[in-house]
Amino acid sequence: MSAFRILVLCTGNSARSQIAEALLATRGAQRKRGPVHGASAGSRPAPRVNPFAVEVLALHGILWGDRTPKSIDEVAAEQFDLVITVCDNARDACPIFPGADVQVHWGLPDPAEEQEPELAREAFEATYRALEARITALLALPLGELSAGELRTAATAIHAASPEPEW
């Protein structure tokens, strides 16, 4: 069975999309209903992954310090079963990803906008929890068995049913 492929897009590929990719990489590979491969990219990639993203992932047992943000151009030729945009700018910059069977939007506030370190840590933790809940629900679905319409409906419902992260 081939892996179900999910791409998460954001503007800088330094915070939300990296956290989502890390969750997909760790949880998706261990999925009992078949493996899920996660990737992420940005419409305007930052020079590095946000240190608070790396920190929050480490607090949850995921080592992610060696990653580098990628451009959408680096993954544009690849085929994905599902593309998720996690910020409005990425959705607007890439309203249709050519290699996607299904595309949905899971808009989340940008934790990197917090400037004060303690508030930034809280924002990144809240973002981690929000993405963890959504990805856990997504990975519980019979992904490879759903039609494109069923997948779009289910992934959209997961986001709609999830509370907005608060910090």
How far apart are alpha carbons 19 and 152 in whole angstroms?
Answer: 21
The pair of structure tokens assigned to 108 is 């989340």
Spatial separation of the C-alpha atoms in residues 24 and 4, rounded to whole Å:
11
d(CA 4, CA 90): 22
Please list the active-site residues: 10, 87, 94
Distance CA 130, CA 124 (A): 10
CA–CA gap between residue 127 and residue 58 (Å, rounded): 14
Using CA atoms in the order 52, 91, 2, 60, what is the torsion angle rounded to 10 degrees? 20
- The neighbouring-strand residues paired with 42 are 10, 71
**Bridge partner residues of 6 (DSSP):** 38, 82
Q: Are 8 and 21 in contact (CB under 8 A)?
A: yes
